[in-house]
Amino acid sequence: MSRGLKISDLIIPDPAPTSSDDDLESSGGWSLTSSVTDYVYENGRRYPGFGPDGAYLYPNDDRENERLDLQHHVFRLLKGGDLHTIPNAQFKNAKVLDVGTGTGIWAIDFADEYPEAKIRGIDLSPTQPEWVPENVVFEIDNLEDQWNFTSKFDYIHMRMMLGSIANWPLLIKQAFENLSPGGWLESQEVLTCAYCDDGTLPPDCNWKKWEKLYVDAAREFGRPIDIAMDLKGWYEEAGFVDVVEEVVKCPLGNWPADRGQKENGRYLRTSLSEGLQALSLATFTRVLGWKADEVEALTALCRNDLNNRAYHGYFKFYFVRGRKPEEKKPVGSIGRSNKWRKYNWEESSGPSDFRSSSSTLDTLTDRRDGGNA
Ligand SMILES: C[S@@+](CC[C@H](N)C(=O)[O-])C[C@H]1O[C@@H](n2cnc3c(N)ncnc32)[C@H](O)[C@@H]1O
């Protein structure tokens, strides 16, 4: 399976495209509260009505769910099929949280691949299937609220939460607080801005016009979509260590020469062609005051750009991970041996008492180590 390209790699255009380049290969229950299904229908699409301010600007209908599943496939293609980037991960008995699980497709695939892990997928919308592997459970909740989990997770996964979150540093801090020491957080996000290495993508093309309007509108709404490059800094601020950011290129369309890149580009293009309306409709109408048919007209022109093989555009996909440090054991709580107890000056008769006790010798060593032993 083809992997995504590193950001330093050049994508070589295919000089002799064929018509088959355009073919796409065929490729636990949830808990529900009544307000969750108070959907809003607008311009032919269904949106979640969760929350007082209709804060989620993207549909949750079948059409959107199909797009999300296709997007899942793009992410897997870019990582050679891998669902995560955590090094040497076993996930045996791991407690896993999938933030904004969508159709639950990642959680279900992960549960199949790691049958000994327990996965909890949480979303605003009950759009997950009913029949799922035994080790997955779906719940409906708003993860922008205070997290009240009663136990910690070993791995928290968030993917494509761009445009959903008002306070990213807070979300990442909450993830940090809800991980066990040594646990991992991972984000997989995309920057929806088209890059080009050979000057073939005109800066005034319709795609560029659309992307600027979209990025600005999302910022104005208070839920930015251009967050991928800030993730690493937010992880570090929250206290994560071993933070790694991998940036992978995915072509916009089937213009590359390499078969694997062509395939990645084809899937991304299909997902975007389908998704442009979902991404823009509520954002442009509610935030920018556009009419729905104006949005349709611009997105149709963007689709032409996506299909233009002369434009060698690509997206950057970000895979960011960080580990919560192991807890430093405070002085006085290090159980070196079962006999050890904290030295108590008040109870003792003085330094001679201190020297004569083997258990208190441990205490002394611990103090010199700063408690890190
Ligand atoms: C673009 S979709 C990504 C779905 C999934 N992570 C994936 O990669 O296939 C974003 C999802 O996040 C959910 N979401 C947005 N804001 C949320 C919140 N505050 N709490 C829980 N879920 C949220 C949406 O309902 C939607 O299903």
User: Which numbered atom of ligand 1 lies nearest the CA of 102?
Assistant: 27
Residue whose CB lies within 8 A of the most ligand 1 atoms, among 36, 45, 56, for a mutation test: 56
Lowest mean per-residue pLDDT among 35-49, 120-134, 359-373: 359-373
Regarding pTM above 0.85, the answer is no
Tell me, in angstroms, the distance from the centre of ligand 1 to residue 261's CA. Answer: 27
For residue 197, what are its two tokens?
A: 């290495």
Residue whose CB lies within 8 A of the most ligand 1 atoms, among 101, 122, 170, 279, for a mutation test: 101
Rounded Cα–Cα distance for residues 342 and 273 (Å): 66
Tell me, in angstroms, the distance from the centre of ligand 1 to residue 366's CA. Answer: 46
| pLDDT tens, position by position, 34-87 | 566 678 888 989 988 755 456 788 999 999 999 999 999 999 999 999 999 999
User: How much is the pLDDT for 329?
Assistant: 66
Our answer on whether the CB atom of 123 is closer than 6 Å to any ligand 1 atom is: yes
Q: What is the dihedral of CA 271, 189, 31, 131, to 10 degrees?
A: 50
The beta strands (E) that lie in 267-324 are given as: 313-323
- Taking 80 as the threshold, does the pLDDT of residue 253 lie above it? yes
Lowest mean per-residue pLDDT among 176-190, 275-289, 336-350: 336-350
User: Which domains are delineated in the chain?
Assistant: 5-323 (3.40.50.150), 331-373 (no CATH)
User: How much is the pLDDT for 38?
Assistant: 75
Rg value, the chain, Cα: 25
User: How much is the pLDDT for 49?
Assistant: 72
pLDDT band at 356 (very low <50, low <70, confident <90, very high): very low
> Which residue blocks in 95-186 are alpha helix, DSSP H?
105-113, 168-177
User: How much is the pLDDT for 36?
Assistant: 65
Element counts in the chain: helices (H) and strands (E): 9, 11
Mention every residue, 6+ apart, whose C-beta is less than 8 A from residue 8.
none
User: Which numbered atom of ligand 1 lies nearest the CA of 105?
Assistant: 9
pLDDT band at 20 (very low <50, low <70, confident <90, very high): low
Tell me, in angstroms, the distance from the centre of ligand 1 to residue 143's CA. Answer: 9
